[in-house]
A and B are shown apart, each in its own frame.
Chain A
């Protein structure tokens, strides 16, 4: 059975993705800063889906550790899904560099650092697949979350370039841009129920799109059209909006 490595496995979206892949029989490698918190999930996946699962310590901000982390995995993963992210506090980040740099480094630099390692390994083997969870927030900077959004924009561009490069090595890269998802990350926000997806719906979209080797998807599907509209608003108007 193929092996999937989930980076940032503690989040609600990651749990849903792990369960979706486990239900298809994949072997799971779960990675998060505090692997002790993953043991319940590990047991859960084994009992519900009769799959093998292991937990590993991984810190997105400790760039120097990424190579040794990847090399010490019990098996080279066939699929790497980069799920971790940090929404952070936009207002705080505007004046507090600690916060701003944590947002940028978690969502962009950290993701680039670990996916560079995975990409090298897969390119050398000439097979594998990488899925990066970016965000619709990366499509256009808005006053309410442009630190997060700009890091995700960078990540989306990175994934696009990586896809271009790895295509020639037989490795597929898929970009995922979720809209509102009902998770711990968005718990403090009041989200419109009709536009908000459950993590399991997002996980299912990802699983299905990955099976078809899609390049880039929005989830849920209608975000493609919402973002089309948002991207098409002329800048002289956009800057006057309070978004």
Chain B
């Protein structure tokens, strides 16, 4: 069916054909009968990574194939979303090994973006927990793992769907005693303090900081650091202990339509940030909370992206290497000067990551939202130049606008990745408007020449 498609940022919107499949034969048939396609999951990447002239939705390809409750090995088709996985596994005492800030992404998307979570410094990205997977490549359906068809495996983790359509994924879950998190929130007066606090709390499995980037002077970069561990059964209160693996029931809020663009202006963002900071009236708060508000605070408001108006927004997420944390202040200063604040700015420390094309590297990552407006893209180009200067890079799953040279100059293995893509996806059958924008060379398809 032809439709106007866009991902979570509502930018860009593309008029394209979207099809779906629920069994292997339908996928194969679609791949055989279309020249260019790109797989799309739940549309929660922010930019254009899963948009193309023909997109194939994996959402109906959502079957659970195996779940070993003794070992925590889980195998499923790629279109199942994380919330469904959690519904199945949490009551049995198993949690996702890595989860991003929303549970409304598919497993295929988690692999293609090689997602990271609040535990990256301790447990790595999603690819670290994959046992094996199957990918329908330009050379047919192949099985790959860290020990088998390794080129394909590493080019598929974080490869934005360019090696083909991920069909099934087998991965390891993480044992939990309860569905709760023992969390600690600490206020930091400024950027230096929060960086120091991150370091002091690095033994925590989960950590991230909410940061107010509109403050100046002494409170520049004031933050709330949030760290946590899966709660043990004896850390729950009596009521929680009655059903330690079940979440309390609660309602859902929805933003029913796109708010006018002016709703999120400097004043409202400042007010929001001030209220958010002030709600923690004590410097340190410790409590036990269900996993949902800890991992997925924004999932409680369905369609929060509509808050940015119909022109949409881009989320700008970059990482800087540890030795260049001074760059963080420089970039935040530049954003502060511009005064184009962000509803949400999230700071997090990444641990070591050793792979081909995934986003994380040991260092600091910051994510900010910018509503699309006149002058935004030139401004982001200026920020890109700073990120590059400090040896950093941008997250492809959030990207909708970076210039191609920024990508090629910031991902050290980009050309090697491109060569592997050429081998498994000759001629570029699997391509998105993002990979076209980044000017991928897909090589030639011999069968056509």
Among the stretches A43-51, A148-156, A170-178, the one at the interface with B is: A43-51
Q: Name the A residues within 8 Å of B22 (CB-CB).
A: 10, 12, 15, 184
Most chain-B CB neighbours within 10 Å: which of A184, A186, A188? A184
Partner of B88, one of A37, A41, A47: A47
Q: Name the B residues within 8 Å of A10 (CB-CB).
A: 22-23
Nearest chain A CB to B37 CB, angstrom units: 14
Mask of B6-31 contacts with A, CB within 8 angstroms, 1/0: 00000000000001111111100000
A187 within 8 A of B: yes
| Number of B positions contacting A (CB below 8 A) | 20
A232 within 8 A of B: no
Partner of B65, one of A40, A187, A188, A189: A40
In the complex, the answer to whether B66 meets A184 with C-beta atoms within 8 Å is no
Q: Name the A residues within 8 Å of B23 (CB-CB).
A: 10, 37, 40
In the complex, the answer to whether B77 meets A40 with C-beta atoms within 8 Å is yes
Specify the chain B residue showing the minimal Cβ separation from A46. B64
In the complex, the answer to whether A44 meets B1 with C-beta atoms within 8 Å is no
Summarize B's interface: helix, strand, loop or mixed.
mixed
A67 within 8 A of B: no
In the complex, the answer to whether B64 meets A47 with C-beta atoms within 8 Å is yes
Nearest chain A CB to B78 CB, angstrom units: 12
Q: Name the B residues within 8 Å of A48 (CB-CB).
A: 64, 88
The answer for the CA separation of A189 and B17 in the assembled complex, in Å, is: 11
Q: Name the B residues within 8 Å of A186 (CB-CB).
A: 1
The answer for the CA separation of A199 and B22 in the assembled complex, in Å, is: 13
Q: Name the A residues within 8 Å of B24 (CB-CB).
A: 37
A72 within 8 A of B: no
* Given contact pairs A10-B23, A187-B20, A43 touches B64 in the complex (Cβ within 8 A): yes
Nearest chain A CB to B93 CB, angstrom units: 15
Most chain-A CB neighbours within 10 Å: which of B20, B23, B25, B26? B23
In the complex, the answer to whether A187 meets B1 with C-beta atoms within 8 Å is yes
The answer for the CA separation of A41 and B22 in the assembled complex, in Å, is: 10
Q: Name the B residues within 8 Å of A41 (CB-CB).
A: 63
B60 within 8 A of A: yes
Q: Name the B residues within 8 Å of A37 (CB-CB).
A: 23-25
Most chain-A CB neighbours within 10 Å: which of B1, B19, B25, B66? B1
Give chain B's interface residues, CB within 8 Å of chain A: 1-3, 19-26, 60, 62-67, 77, 88
Give chain A's interface residues, CB within 8 Å of chain B: 10, 12, 15, 37, 40-41, 43-44, 47-48, 184, 186-191
Contact sample, A vs B, 18 pairs, CB 8 Å cutoff: A10-B22, A10-B23, A12-B22, A37-B23, A43-B66, A44-B65, A47-B64, A47-B88, A48-B64, A48-B88, A184-B21, A184-B22, A184-B60, A187-B20, A188-B1, A189-B1, A190-B2, A190-B3
